[in-house]
Amino acid sequence: MSVKPEAPGPGQESVWDYPGPPRLEAVPERLRIVFQGVEIANTTRAWRVLETSHPPVYYIPPDAVWYYSDPTPRFDLMVG
């Protein structure tokens, strides 16, 4: 069975046009990740890996991710 790629639409890329071996390229745009309405990452220093027939994979620096620590105290109940 052979795979027949679809032609990309305006403003789209085709994964079949990506190189082999993979290529690493800087992302010139601001990359924001929003989860459930909360921004959890924001950077202009992202990278993406392009490889034939695979969707792009984005990498962002760890200091661009906002980690949330729940300040609610937790208790363990010990019965005995």
CA-closest candidate to residue 50, choices 6, 10, 16, 11? 16
pTM: 0.65
Question: Residue ranges per domain, the chain?
Answer: 24-64
For residues 52 and 18, give the distance between their C-alpha atoms in angstroms, rounded to a whole number.
Answer: 5
9-13's contacts with Cβ under 8 Å and 24+ in sequence apart are: 13/56
pLDDT at 32 over 90: yes
Q: ∠19-25-30 over CA atoms, to 5°?
A: 135
For residues 44 and 48, give the distance between their C-alpha atoms in angstroms, rounded to a whole number.
Answer: 12
pLDDT at 34 over 70: yes
pLDDT at 27 over 80: yes
Q: What is the pLDDT of residue 72?
A: 66
